[in-house]
Copies of this chain bind each other. A is one copy, B any other.
Amino acid sequence: MSTLFVCITCRREGDPPAEKRPGARLYEALKEQAGDLEVAPVECLSNCTRSCSTAVTASGKWTYIVGNLDPDKNVGDILEFARLHKAHEHGLPVWRERPEHIRRNTIARVPPMQSSGVVK
């Protein structure tokens, strides 16, 4: 099972304070369209300067943190990437197959816990 953690607190400078936070809107849009992917809300992924933020992870696979996400533009990109992550044995989607926004806005990645030796 792949999990998509979504920061629901994310708000960028200049966003109207009275409106629903972009992070919360992103979470709701993803939740609605995620199908068999698990979508989980998180209060902060500590990527505030490059929000909105998500992390795609699964037991025994690499974790990817992706930022600079616009809830009105990038829901399809995130879901496409999460499905590629889910389909790959180690959670390492082929670079050229990743949506361009994901390629350009990957904040960091972390190997699965049971890694040993030099992780490539």
Q: What copy number does this chain have within its complex?
A: 2
A33 at the B interface (CB under 8 A): no
Size of the A side of the interface (Cβ < 8 Å), in residues, is 32
Q: Assess whether A57 is in contact with B110, with CB atoms less than 8 Å apart.
A: yes
Q: Tell yes or no: A40 within 8 A of B by CB.
A: yes
A119 interfacial contact with B, CB 8 Å: yes
Contacting pair A119 B65 (CB below 8 A): no
| 22 A–B contacts, CB within 8 A, in A order | A3-B113, A5-B110, A5-B111, A40-B111, A40-B116, A42-B111, A42-B115, A42-B118, A43-B118, A45-B108, A45-B109, A46-B64, A46-B106, A46-B108, A53-B108, A55-B108, A57-B110, A59-B113, A107-B107, A107-B108, A108-B108, A110-B110
How does the 8 Å CB contact mask read for A55-98 relative to B, with 1 for contact and 0 for none? 10111000111010000000000000000000000000000000
Q: Does A99 contact B (CB under 8 A)?
A: no
Closest to A119 in B: B42
Say whether A8 faces chain B, with CB atoms less than 8 Å apart.
Answer: yes
